[in-house]
Amino acid sequence: MLYQKDFKSIHQFLESEEEVKAAINRITANTAFLKLSNYLFPNMPAEKITDNLKNISSVAEFQKKFMYPMIRSILEKTSNGLTFSGFENIKPDQAYLFISNHRDIFLDSAILNILLLEQGLPTTEISSGSNLMVSPVLADMVRLNKMVTVYRDEGTSRQWYNQEKLLSEFIRHSINDRKISVWIAQRNGRTKDGADKTQPGLLKMLVMGLNHQLKNNFKQLNIVPVSMSYEYEPCDKLKVEELNASVNGYKKTTHEDLHSIISGITQQKGHIHLAVCQPINDDLDKIDDSLNDNQQIQAIANLIDKQIHNNYKLWPTNYIAADLLAGTHRYADFYSVADKVKFEGHLVKQCNTLNGDTGKFWQMFLEMYANPLENISQPTV
């Protein structure tokens, strides 16, 4: 089978019952997994959780019977509720490439998939960086969630090119031949400054090795932008640390992504909204054919960004940050005194736990929260 032969290195899908059960046995034997289960399901004995998992025999069953209640439990413990919009934009008999802004390593795609399940729709393949494969239990969880490996900065330039091309071919194969949707972030790594921008390199990867009929090649992917917004940014303190350290050539250590996953799961996030935007196929026809390839790629990135920005649900935190940055009360109608006191208290607490220039950190936090509002007030051209 072409799929198995060509794509095994990036998509180790657990097809047989034996493979699924072996992965589950490894997961349930891991002490870190048991601690997470106790946190998520405090009223259920560990033995019961293990027994339930060992009765699962397929990836689809794992997602419905374990991942779905797990994500719902995380949201119940760490948010003030999840809302959503736009599922009328997708058809159950079509496969899509969901291109999402990226705010949380784990939750962005996981939330989309539980909402798809609630709408009676199939879950997506999830494109995930190879840098997240930092432990055997995480690797097994990845495989049980239909994840596709995105290799980053590994090997020679030729090896990197081949991996990128293989990923491109897999995404197209999944959508066009297997009729299975794929989720991918609009950029490598999470947005750390709140200014969501689609990387042109991502779009170039999607059409690697194809002819120059760019718009037709992109139409075949049925691209749907997805806009995730959190009232309190997951891992906001870690993002500020990374932004600050990046000035000095900072490079993340192996286990920092795992720390970010755990922080994103456990940190309080306030309200959360996921918006499924309009498919971009009709808008692709409006792009000027006289533009060169790079210009057309940028125009497509702009289309995606515009939808993500305009469908991003703004919270009091965004308006407060914008007013604090400008030293005005322009957006005072969008938040209460209590909202402001709570937000400022959160930022003070986060700044006080960082080593360095508190004033600089304060500015970075405010920009992170204000930029989604700036994105909308500065339309993409």
Last residue of one domain, picked from the residues 284, 310, 336? 310
Any domain includes 354: yes
pLDDT digits (tens, 9 = 90+) for 12-51: 677 789 999 999 999 988 888 888 888 888 888 888 888 9
pLDDT digits (tens, 9 = 90+) for 130-153: 766 667 788 888 889 898 877 766
**What domain range includes position 331?**
316-377
Question: Are residue 299 and residue 361 in the same domain, yes or no?
Answer: no
Any domain includes 369: yes
Q: What is the pLDDT of residue 4?
A: 47
DSSP letter (8 states) at residue 213 = -
- For 317, the enclosing helix (H) or strand (E) is helix 316-326
Question: Are residue 155 and residue 256 in the same domain, yes or no?
Answer: yes
Last residue of one domain, picked from the residues 263, 292, 310? 310
Other Cβ atoms less than 10 A from the Cβ of 76: the count is 11
Question: Are residue 230 and residue 170 in the same domain, yes or no?
Answer: yes
Question: Are residue 290 and residue 348 in the same domain, yes or no?
Answer: no
Any domain includes 42: no
Find, among 46, 117, 59, 41, the residue nearest to 84 by Cα. 117
- For 147, the enclosing helix (H) or strand (E) is strand 147-150
Residue 178 tokens, joined: 């297997």
Q: What is the pLDDT of residue 161?
A: 86
* Cα–Cα dist 96/78, whole Å: 30
Q: Which residues in the chain land under pLDDT 70? A: 1-5, 12, 131-134, 152-155, 247-257, 377-381
Any domain includes 48: no
Any domain includes 39: no
* Cα–Cα dist 375/309, whole Å: 6
Question: Are residue 211 and residue 330 in the same domain, yes or no?
Answer: no
Q: What is the pLDDT of residue 9?
A: 75
Domain with residue 144: its CATH number is 3.40.1130
Question: Are residue 147 and residue 272 in the same domain, yes or no?
Answer: yes
Question: Are residue 305 and residue 351 in the same domain, yes or no?
Answer: no
Residues 151, 155, 158, 164, Cα dihedral to 10°: 0
Any domain includes 190: yes
Question: Are residue 247 and residue 284 in the same domain, yes or no?
Answer: yes
Find, among 199, 190, 183, 44, the residue nearest to 127 by Cα. 183
Question: Are residue 137 and residue 251 in the same domain, yes or no?
Answer: yes
Question: Are residue 320 and residue 297 in the same domain, yes or no?
Answer: no
Residue 77 tokens, joined: 């413990």
CA angle 18, 19, 22 (to 5 degrees): 85
* Cα–Cα dist 200/202, whole Å: 5
Question: Are residue 354 and residue 292 in the same domain, yes or no?
Answer: no
Other Cβ atoms less than 10 A from the Cβ of 262: the count is 15
Contact 116, 243 (CB under 8 A): no
CA angle 79, 81, 82 (to 5 degrees): 110
Domain count, the chain: 2
Other Cβ atoms less than 10 A from the Cβ of 284: the count is 19
Residue 276 tokens, joined: 């499924």
Last residue of one domain, picked from the residues 278, 310, 342? 310
Look up tokens 């699924």; give the residue.
Answer: 20
Contact 164, 149 (CB under 8 A): no
Residue 333 tokens, joined: 């109608």
Any domain includes 40: no
Q: What is the pLDDT of residue 225?
A: 98
* Cα–Cα dist 188/186, whole Å: 7
Question: Are residue 190 and residue 326 in the same domain, yes or no?
Answer: no
Q: What is the pLDDT of residue 381?
A: 42
pTM of the model: 0.92
Find, among 195, 104, 188, the residue nearest to 380 by Cα. 195
Q: What is the pLDDT of residue 3?
A: 45
Any domain includes 158: yes
Could you give the strand order of the β-sheet that contains 125-129, starting from the edge strand earlier in sequence? 82-85, 272-276, 223-230, 97-100, 182-185, 125-129, 147-150
